[in-house]
Amino acid sequence: MIDVLDRLGRAALLVDGYGRVQHMNAAAHEIVDRSDGLSTDRGGVLSAVTPRDRAVLAASIAGIRNPGRRSIAVDSMMVVRPSNGRHYVLHILPIHRNGRSSARPPIVLVTVVEPDDSGRCASVDTWRTLYGLTPREAAVAEQVQRGEGLQTVADTLAVTLSTVRAHLQHVFEKTHTHRQAELARLLTVVEPIFDRPPPTP
């Protein structure tokens, strides 16, 4: 996962369930060092500059840590920048080890999208890396993300409808989603985060 983050051209951080930064890539370092909306405190906890944003960010990360929380695929929020630049968009995702829940709390992935950045379509390899999908599960996820119906997916992949449903159920379990619309939203959020080419040195 760290190798993946370091190759990104977009800011991304791994934090624990208390918001303590475990790793950040070069783009995230640049943003945090500017303290223009995001920073880290003395304890290494990721924090927003305004009190409201700070509270929302902390609550989102704490919610992922709390095992009693209703499982969701991704939280998103806006972060005000004191420079009066356009707000950052943060996406906060739980990354479960091996794509499944375990007794240990998930790692929290925080990505920072700058408003003027444009993304590209994600590759199925990205989803496989993040969520431990098999090639066939990733292919089903790709079709669902495009808005295809399950029968169309079955025809495209030359498998039965029941096979598609079984693969989709595995995708739901690994991504911690429950509906096709929720899965499509998650994958759409992940698209620009993980498939933007790194900047030229």
pTM, to two decimals: 0.60
Enclosing domain of residue 22: 2-117
**192 neighbors 117 (Cβ within 8 angstroms):** yes
C-alpha atoms less than 13 angstroms from C-alpha of 99 in its C-beta half-sphere: 17
Q: Based on the fold, state whether residues 138 and 112 are members of the same structural domain.
A: no
Residues 147 and 182 in one domain: yes
Residue ending a domain, among 117, 144, 175, is 117
Total structural domains within the chain? 2
Same domain for 104 and 56, yes or no, is: yes
> CA 122 to CA 8: how far, in whole Å?
13
Q: How confident is the model at residue 164 (pLDDT cuts 50, 70, 90)?
A: very high
Per-residue pLDDT tens digits for 169-191: 999 998 878 899 888 877 776 65
Q: Residue 101 is which amino acid?
A: S
User: Given pLDDT bands bounded at 50, 70 and 90, which one contains residue 199?
Assistant: very low
For the stretch 61-112, pLDDT in tens is 988 877 555 455 567 788 989 988 878 888 888 886 555 555 566 789 998 8
Tens digits of per-residue pLDDT, 10-63? 789 999 989 999 999 999 999 999 999 999 999 999 999 899 999 999 999 988
Q: Are residues 83 and 11 in the same domain?
A: yes
In a domain, 195, yes or no: no
Question: Burial, 31: exposed, middle or buried (Cβ in 10 Å; 0-12, 13-18, 19+)?
Answer: buried
Instruction: Say if residue 92 is exposed, middle or buried (CB neighbours under 10 Å; 0-12, 13-18, 19+).
Output: buried
Handedness of CA 187, 137, 98, 6 (dihedral sign): negative
The predicted structure's pLDDT at residue 103: 56
Instruction: Kindly report the CATH number assigned to the domain that includes residue 12.
Output: 3.30.450.20
Shared domain check, 16 and 113: yes
Question: Are 153 and 98 in a shared domain?
Answer: no
Mean pLDDT of the region 116-132: 62
